[in-house]
Amino acid sequence: MAVPSSVCRAVARGGASVAARRGAASAAPAAAAAPDAPSADVRPYLDIPGPKPLPVVGNIWRFLPVVGPWGGQDMLEVHHTLQSTYGDIVRLSGMPKNRDMVALYDPVDIEKVYRNEGPWPKREAFGSLNYYRRFINKERYEGSHGLLTTNEKEWQEFRRGVQGPMLQPRAVAKYTAPIDTVASEFIERLREIRDENGLLPKDADNWFFRWALESIAIIALDTRLGCLDSQVAGEPQKMIDAVQVLFEGMFELDIKPSIWKYVSTPMWRKYVNAISTFETVSEKYIQNRVNRLKSKMAEGGDIGDDLSVLERLLLANDNPRIAMTMALDMLFAGIDTTSYATGALLYLLSRNPDKQEELHAELRRVLPQRDTPVTAERLQDMKYLRAAIKESMRMKPVAIGQLRENPKEGLVLRNYYIPKGVDILLMLAVSGNDPRFVPHAERFMPERWLKGDDPHAKGHPFATLPFGFGPRICIGKRFAELEIEVLNAKLLRNFKVEYPCKGEFQTRLLHVLKSPMTFRLTDRD
Ligand code: HEM
């Protein structure tokens, strides 16, 4: 999963050595020669409001179950409390790991951080995966640690080698037909697994994961795995099981307090096994592609330009491990994100039946039959669908915020000096739902994103950034959009969707529906 883990974990653990930062903060006036050097009236870092740390226990006690006011509370709710208590900038200090964190809730400040993040935006994330790649299985990852767990030059070099194949619109559009086939199969499965009242079963989330795994495998591994077949066994079943363990593991190991770094816990061992299943399966399919490309080249044949993303990744990089790690990063980041983003969209449409009907009218026009295939051209015509997806990502983004380490001395936010190295948390789930920055923020209004509508209706452009911004923007953004658009076009063309559960959300690894995705699906004609 993408970055969100870091966000929660960093908030949960992200305090700072006050002493160390105090030095940095008091050095502010001396930094006069630094870029953006603050003027004399800039206030010192330590003046930023925030909860006062207690001696020895700092601020960490606030997050402890039972004794702490935020123990067991949802992380997004904690941020709403922080904002209403202290304002649009909050300093969290006195936490373990000796790192300070500044949380921002105003898009003007969020924009300033993004504009100053430099060529290699830095953030700490995915501690367990990073540890695994660097220490447990380091031979495999030597020279190719991927995007999720790297920073600075190492990250930049990797990103340079994979960015083209991943983000080229034409290359992405070529996947519309296979993604459409997977979505059709998924819809058939949904018909079969719903009960006589049309309700999806309690393990519906896992079915959405299967759809996402099957879809991302086409892109990452150039293959169909068979996760949506009616009878699943063998390799696809192993992958499905590994997905469950992976997300559970990341939550247990990276977000909840855990001793895995010191003792090999059962969860850690299950997690390592799940990663190794991903590796073994991925290696097999990638090796197939390597062999195919090699034999084509050996025959002197033209490899043509109708290449898959995986082939492009292999050809663009001398080291085949780069394609391998990129494929694994896609599998880790591209399953729960797209599944839960779909859950949020379906939930909001079920709570806003008038908007769902408007969308259905568009889909009926563009897809006259229930099984009319979705094509790249037809997608262009589904403007209301794309607007509805954008609106749901504004209201219920799966990643509640982005984390950045301030790369330079001299950054000033809301007239406070921010020392180099401080973690800055850009709380987009808060800013995107704040009526000061997005008009009628509490209302689900897809039309605000349609061309010709009031340009102010969208609100501040940095209030809502579900995929991030800048050089480190989600590298799977275009594929994620394609998958979500295709699936939901078909799903909402085929079914009226209702959600008979309470519509609460919770922040675990991602910000997701609290109850399972047991939507009621009623056939449309
Ligand atoms: C709804 C779906 C998704 C959402 C909302 C989402 C969101 C994000 C966000 C917010 C980031 C962090 C950006 C930053 O730090 O500025 C990110 C990073 C990333 N995402 Fe996604 N993502 C989604 C789907 C996907 C998919 C399908 C893939 C794979 C094809 C993917 C692969 C990645 C990778 C590899 C990174 C790390 C990029 C880097 O550090 O350079 N994501 N994503």
Residue ranges of domains in the chain: 130-397+470-523
Q: What is the dihedral of CA 507, 508, 511, 517, to 10 degrees?
A: -110
Distance separating alpha carbons of residues 52 and 62, to the nearest angstrom: 10
| Separation of CA 81 and ligand 1 centre (Å) | 27
> Is 501 annotated as contributing to ligand binding?
no
- Residue 472's pLDDT band, with cuts at 50, 70 and 90, is very high
Give the pLDDT of residue 509: 86
Distance (angstroms) between ligand 1 centre and the Cα of 490 equals 24
| Closest listed residue to residue 243, CA positions, set 285, 266, 271, 222 | 271
Q: Which atom of ligand 1 is nearest to the CA of 465?
A: 10
Kindly indicate the confidence band of residue 37, based on its pLDDT and cuts at 50, 70 and 90.
low
Length of the chain: 525
Residue to substitute in 338, 423, 472, 474 for testing ligand 1 pocket (most ligand atoms within 8 angstroms of CB): 474
State how beta strands 416-418 and 411-413 pair.
antiparallel
Ligand 1 shell residues, CB under 6 Å? 2-3, 147-148, 159, 216, 329-330, 333-334, 337-338, 341, 398-399, 402, 466-468, 472-476, 479-480
- What phi, psi does 521 have (nearest 5°)? -110, 115
Mean pLDDT of 460-487: 98
CA dist 52 and 91 (Å) reads 9
Q: Please determine, for residue 19, whether its predicted confidence score (pLDDT) is greater than 50.
A: no
What radius of gyration, in Å, describes the C-alpha atoms of the chain? 23
Fold of 130-397+470-523: Cytochrome p450 (1.10.630)
From the list 300, 138, 329, 144, the residue with the least C-alpha distance to 220 is 329
**Closest to 421 measured CA to CA, from 82, 125, 6, 102:** 102
Query: So what's the pLDDT on residue 231?
Result: 85
Rounded CA gap, 51 and 394, in Å? 28
Residue 6 has pLDDT above 80, yes or no: no
- Residue 23 confidence (pLDDT) above 80: no
Give residue 294 CA to ligand 1 midpoint distance, Å.
Answer: 31
